[in-house]
Amino acid sequence: MAEDRLLRHLCEPAPNVDAFLAKVMMISAKKRMKSCLTCAFLVFFTFLFSACANKELIRTSVPLPYNGPVSVDVLKKAIGFGDIKTIKALADVRVLRQGEPAGSFSGVFGYQAPASLKTSFFGPFGLTVMEMLVTDDMIQVYLPQKNTVYEKRSPGISFTSVVNGRFIYTIDEEDDFYSLFAFAQEDTTAGPVMKYIFDRTCLLNRRIVIYTDGKEALRIDFDGFNGKAPEKARLTISNGTVMEIALHEAEYNTDIPEEYFEALEQGDRNILPFQDLLEHFGLQGRLDDGRP
C-alpha cells in the first residue's frame, strides 16, 4: 500500500526542534518559488522562530493532588493541557496493526489553546508526507503524494467540544478514576458521544474515548505527564490500528503565529469528505451535528 511504502522511507527525527524546522523552511521556500499555488499550510514551513522569542521549557514536575469537590465543571476544566497556552515539539510515531509493527516515522507537533492542534510528518529532505489539522471549525488531513485533502467543516467534535455547550454531561466513578460522559443534546438515549477519564489523585486527563453508534470508535490514552501535559499518547482505532506518539524536546508557551493553524486552501487539490478517510480505517460513523 502507498502508506506502507511511505512509512518505510521516512526520516529520523532531527536533533533540535528549531534546527529541524529551519531546514524544512528552506526546502519549502524553494518549492514555493516553483509554484504559483498559495497555501495557508506553507506558513508551517516558514515559522519565524526569533532568537529573542519567549520560550518556557517546563521541567518534569509532579502534579499536585486535588483535594476539592468533584463536579462536572471541575472535570471540564481538567480536560486537555491545563493552563499551557502552546506546545511545540518533535514527535516520534510508531504504528501497529493487529499488534504487529507496521512502520515508524517522525514529525512536528503544534498546539495552541484552547482547541487548535496540528501535526506534520516528514520524509527524506524534510518533504511533507502528511499533515493533520484539528480546530473548532474543521478537521483536515492532507496527503501531498495524492494531492488530496480530507476535510470536515464544523465537525462538532474537538478537544474542547465538551466545554462549548453542545452536550449534556454526567459523572461516574470507575475504580480509581472519574469519568465524564458527553451526550448529544438532541438524543441522549443513543449513548455517549465522548468520554473523558481522570485519575482520582490529580485529575489528570488519562483517556478520551469517541463513540460511534454507541460503540467505541477511537481511544486516546495519555501518559508520561510533564506537569499537566502528557508527552506520550496511544491512539487505538476500532479496526485494530494503533499509533504510539512520543514528544521530544517540547517547548511550552512559545509564540506560534495564528496563521500556522489556518485551513489549507483548495487550489488544485482533490477535496474529499473526511468520512472517506474514516471508512478507510473502518470508522463508519458520522461527524455531523455533534455526533462522531
Distance separating alpha carbons of residues 68 and 71, to the nearest angstrom: 10
CB 30: neighbour CB atoms within 10 A?
A: 8
- Residue 240 inside a domain? The answer is yes
Model pTM above 0.75: no
- Residue 74 inside a domain? The answer is no
Statement: residue 123 has pLDDT above 90: no
- Residue 77 inside a domain? The answer is no
- Residue 272 inside a domain? The answer is yes
Instruction: Please report the pLDDT score of residue 215 as a whole number.
Output: 84
Is the bond preceding residue 155 a cis peptide, omega within 30 degrees?
no
- Residue 57 inside a domain? The answer is no
Report DSSP letters for 169-198, one per residue.
EEEEEETTEEEEEEEETT-GGG--SEEEEE
CATH of the domain at 115: 2.50.20
Instruction: Please report the pLDDT score of residue 232 as a whole number.
Output: 94
Distance separating alpha carbons of residues 256 and 240, to the nearest angstrom: 35
Mean pLDDT of 227-248: 90
Q: How confident is the model at residue 126 (pLDDT cuts 50, 70, 90)?
A: confident
Domain count, the chain: 1
Furthest CA-CA distance within the chain: 59
Instruction: Please report the pLDDT score of residue 156 as a whole number.
Output: 53
Quick: pLDDT tens for 206-219: 999 988 878 888 89
- Residue 70 inside a domain? The answer is no
Q: How confident is the model at residue 233 (pLDDT cuts 50, 70, 90)?
A: very high
Domain extent, residue 99, equals: 2-51+86-280
- Residue 73 inside a domain? The answer is no
Quick: pLDDT tens for 17-75: 444 444 434 433 333 333 322 232 222 322 322 223 344 554 446 778 999 999 999 99
Instruction: Please report the pLDDT score of residue 26 as a whole number.
Output: 43
Distance separating alpha carbons of residues 241 and 92, to the nearest angstrom: 16
- Residue 288 inside a domain? The answer is no
Burial class (CB in 10 A: 0-12, 13-18, 19+), 12: exposed
